[in-house]
Amino acid sequence: MDGSALIALLQQAVPGATIEPAPSVDLHTAIAVSRDHVPDVARVLRDTPDLRFTFLAELTAVDVWPREPRFEVIYVLDGAQSDERGTYSAGSLVVNREGDRHSVWSDDGCLVLIVWERPIEFL
């Protein structure tokens, strides 16, 4: 599936999401997704039978200073991480807005990639 067809499929599956082609130095398909829709788009990429994406090669965030609100992105690489809203297994993408206080734990251990826009405070 080419990039245009992929974007069209995602826009149909996630109404209201801003999904656009992004530049790529290696000619692989790259897309830019509005931050509020990243988890939904990731689920569609993973769960659509014709796609079944199982590997996230790159995840980047753009900090548009001083625009608010800020956010954190958590990608669960292995195991499962939990907070008050639920448990997120490997492959889950969690986006939390700034000021969203939560406790995090893992019953059996986990490996996560976290992108914070600014320093955080562990309480």
User: Would you list the domain boundaries of the chain?
Assistant: 3-47, 71-116
- Quick one: pLDDT at residue 108? 92
Are residues 19 and 39 in contact, defined by beta-carbon separation less than 8 angstroms?
no
- Quick one: pLDDT at residue 75? 85
3-state helix, strand, coil in the chain (%, to 5): 20, 30, 50
The ranges of the chain with pLDDT < 70 are 56-70, 117-123
- Quick one: pLDDT at residue 76? 87
- Quick one: pLDDT at residue 11? 95
- Quick one: pLDDT at residue 5? 93
- Quick one: pLDDT at residue 100? 77
Both tokens of 46, joined, read: 């993973």
